[in-house]
Structure 1
Amino acid sequence: MDIRTLRHLASPEGKALLREAESGFGVETEFALGSRLRRDHAPELVAAALTQVRLRRRATAKFHPADAARMFLTVDGYEQATRATVASHRARRLADRRPGGRLLDLCCGIGGDLIELARAGLTVTGVEMDELTAEAARLNIAALDLTGRAGVLTGDAARHDRSGYDAVVCDPARRTARGRIFDPDAYQPPWSFVLELLDGDACVKVAPGIPHDRVPAGAEAEWVSDNGEVKEAAIWSGELASGCRRRATVLRGGAGPGSVTAGPGSGTAGSSAAAHMATLTDADDPGDPRVHAPGRFLYEPDGAVIRAGLVTAVAAMTDGWLLDSSIAYVSADTHLSTPFARAYEVTEVLPYDVKALRRYVRAHDIGSLTIKKRGVEVTPEELRRSLRPKGSRTATLVVTRAGRRTIVLVATPL
């Protein structure tokens, strides 16, 4: 799709075509729908409209459905856009630090962050190098009635004048035609530019796997998960940082676009039931965990907690310990409901022996078997086939290491 076609889709005629394509999508076959629409519209416009309808339907998994139904999307723009729940959390945090401020959103893409920043009461200028993507962002701002708060310029983020703004947000490109980029030195704009931004008040999105030693002194790295899935990491600097070095933020249930998410605390674990947000920092981590044999309960820390290196903070809050100093499982004799880890009750501790496990599965009439593993050379799918579950009961097996031993915990999710 080119800019001319995108603008045509945003015209009254194009919007009418999109409504017609949407109403027929799933009712008629796509071939029949396309053939019918091409009687009155150019083939390239019909193809773009059908692609837009498909993308909008996919986008309901990332954006609020009411927004997705009005947005203009490109394939790459959709794939790289921030999920609305995560963007809303970050926008609220920025608004707490810079209420009513003027922000610069570099590498803004189709406007996922831009939208939430504007909704949080900030005045935002987006900069995007790709002309088609920048045009999609402009159309999205207009479609969501945010033109009074946001605007988009086409240009090179690294060359844009940053003076006059209260803070800068940047989302460097971390994807090429060959896939995701994990090396910060391969980001575009380059890591040297990222470090330049982080000398001031900035929030820069980075890959979740960024090594801790790449975070500049004085800055804060925050890992964010949404409903148990790690979505991204961001580095906060200057007055936007909160004084900690590492933070894990867990979003649950979905604080949708425009919702108010509780801001980060002063370095202690906190949560907001209304906003479905909980946050944990290195100030909550005593370090030096105990290592001990399995207790009555097992805790599987959230991915953001693991990425932030705060597994020992979960051990401290549950009065627990680690099964192995290098593995992210926590065990305890008490049960605590926490957003930072999933809890299981341990009913059996078995040695890792496939024949013995097969006998156990048969003796306990197990047919539905969930196998989890960490720190061991085990392939869950292959082990499941070897155990041949055929019974009527369900079970969860956790294969892990305790010291030099490989053990299997029979566990019940709580």
Structure 2
Amino acid sequence: MNSEQLAALRTPEGVKALATAAELAGGDPLAAAAALRGSGVPADLAAAALTQAELRRRAVGKFGADADRMFFTRAGLEQATRSAVASRRAARLRAAGARTLADLGCGIGADAIAAARAGIEVYAVEADPGTAMVAAANAEVLGLAGITVVTGDATAADLSGVDAVFCDPARRREGRRVFDPAAYSPPWDFVAALPERVPRTVLKLAPGIDHGLVPPGAEAEWVSVRGEVVEAAFWCGPLAEVPRRSTLLGVAELTGSGEAKAPVGAVGPYLYDPDGAVVRAHLVAEFAAAVGGHLADPEIAYVYADTPAPTPYARCLKIEEVLPFSLKRLRALLRARGVGRLEILKRGSALEPERLRRDLRLAGPAAASLVLTRVAGAPTALVCEPV
């Protein structure tokens, strides 16, 4: 996306091309391009409109109805915060007294939009000119006057006039994910020092971030949406409320120290598979205590209990069979049970589920869940059914 393309899309002709492209999105791209060009739309505008229509279609899951009015880049949409997550964060910032926010690395503006809607004035900085242009356009089309977007280096931003900072460092380079925090943009040494400059600082990071990087005294939160862990967030200074938090968005929150150890015992009749946010936040011990459960291996985050209990934090399975892993024995057992449909879960196993599925040569009308794990260090197979 460059300035000429964005400007063209915002003309009456561009708006009409976008509307037509939206009707064609999701179908054959070559046929869609031919149809647009056949209606008199210039080739360059047709390509830009079709790209935006496809990105808008993909963005609905993150932005809902706003997606139909917003503009996107591929990389910007990939890293953008879901609107529900951003709105929750903005509400928490506002409740904590934030009135002016520096959004460093604002991308296409997802978090800036949520903050402005929460009544926070936003100074947004984005290094990439094209992405900054898209963020400014999104603020305009959504009618948000409280957002100022500038193109610049986040490390040089003047933070003297804000009372809170949000930073979502770029974690992609040339289309590939960056896993080394030192290679983030802006780099980790700058990001980690932000709470020293502005105590009310929130850092959005990848879910796999090392717990060792949590700033002293900060709250580390992992957020999942419908079972998918979507981000980690470090709440610093006066924003920190607890050491660790796992948030199942719109469902429940579990908090704790992140340092407790769950008891270890034998495999019980019921198995709980905790939500990824609970596991990432190191709150498995707190969850186990809530259901009266324990681990069967101190390194594996499956929780076992004597009775099932309703909980938003995990799936519950009833264990029907427990056996040391053996392909031959497992195949015979599943054949005897007539299992033709098999869900395969695993933690602590190097086996590839789809290859195992082929090797099992399943046949029959019954369904089951297979859990591949370790018990006291030994490879183990659990044949289960969902509760």
1:195 matches 2:213: no
Q: Whose relative contact order is higher, 1 or 2, with alpha carbons under 8 Å and at least 6 apart?
A: 1
Root mean square deviation of aligned Cα: 1.7
Equivalent residue for 1:169? 166
1 CA distance for matches of 2:159 and 2:259?
A: 40
How many angstroms does 1:369 deviate by? 0.8
The one-letter code matched in structure 2 to 1:133 is T
Q: Deviations over 1:287-338 (max 9, x none)?
A: 2322111112101111111111111111111111001001111001122222
Q: Deviations over 1:63-105 (max 9, x none)?
A: 21x1111111111111121122221221222122126x11111
Of residues 186-195 and 316-325 in structure 1, the stretch that sits farther from structure 2 once superposed is: 186-195
CA distance 1:286–1:136, change in 2 (3 Å): closer
How many angstroms does 1:202 deviate by? 0.3
Verify the 8 A CA contact 1:375 1:401 in the aligned structure 2: yes
Q: Deviations over 1:233-265 (max 9, x none)?
A: 1111111111x22221112xxxxxxxxxxxxxx
Give TM-score scaled by structure 1 length.
0.88
Equivalent residue for 1:234? 233
Equivalent residue for 1:132? 130
Match for residue 158 of structure 1 among 155, 160, 165: 155
1 CA distance for matches of 2:324 and 2:348?
A: 15
> Counterpart of 1:63 in 2: which secondary structure?
helix
The one-letter code matched in structure 1 to 2:153 is D
Runs of 4 or more, structure 1, over 6 Å off, are none
Equivalent residue for 1:327? 300
> Counterpart of 2:160 in 1: which secondary structure?
coil
Equivalent residue for 1:61? 61
The one-letter code matched in structure 2 to 1:293 is A
Verify the 8 A CA contact 1:85 1:226 in the aligned structure 2: no
2 CA distance for matches of 1:236 and 1:286?
A: 18
1 CA distance for matches of 2:333 and 2:251?
A: 40
Equivalent residue for 2:343? 370
Of residues 387-396 and 349-358 in structure 1, the stretch that sits farther from structure 2 once superposed is: 349-358
1:92 matches 2:65: no
How many angstroms does 1:340 deviate by? 1.6
Of residues 213-222 and 376-385 in structure 1, the stretch that sits farther from structure 2 once superposed is: 376-385
1 CA distance for matches of 2:3 and 2:209?
A: 35
1:186 matches 2:160: no
How many angstroms does 1:32 deviate by? 4.2
Verify the 8 A CA contact 2:25 2:57 in the aligned structure 1: no
CA distance 1:161–1:369, change in 2 (3 Å): same
How many angstroms does 1:52 deviate by? 0.7
CA distance 1:173–1:364, change in 2 (3 Å): same
> Counterpart of 1:372 in 2: which secondary structure?
strand
Match for residue 109 of structure 2 among 103, 108, 111: 111
The one-letter code matched in structure 1 to 2:135 is A
Verify the 8 A CA contact 2:26 2:54 in the aligned structure 1: no
1 CA distance for matches of 2:126 and 2:91?
A: 23
2 CA distance for matches of 1:18 and 1:405?
A: 58
1:279 matches 2:279: no
2 CA distance for matches of 1:67 and 1:131?
A: 23
2 CA distance for matches of 1:310 and 1:103?
A: 31
How many angstroms does 1:35 deviate by? 3.1
The one-letter code matched in structure 1 to 2:256 is D
How many angstroms does 1:349 deviate by? 1.6
Verify the 8 A CA contact 1:104 1:169 in the aligned structure 2: yes
Q: Which runs of 5+ in 1 are unaligned?
A: 252-275
Q: Which runs of 5+ in 2 are unaligned?
A: none
Verify the 8 A CA contact 2:271 2:316 in the aligned structure 1: yes
Equivalent residue for 1:305? 278
1 CA distance for matches of 2:110 and 2:251?
A: 20
Give TM-score scaled by structure 2 length.
0.94
> Counterpart of 1:38 in 2: which secondary structure?
helix
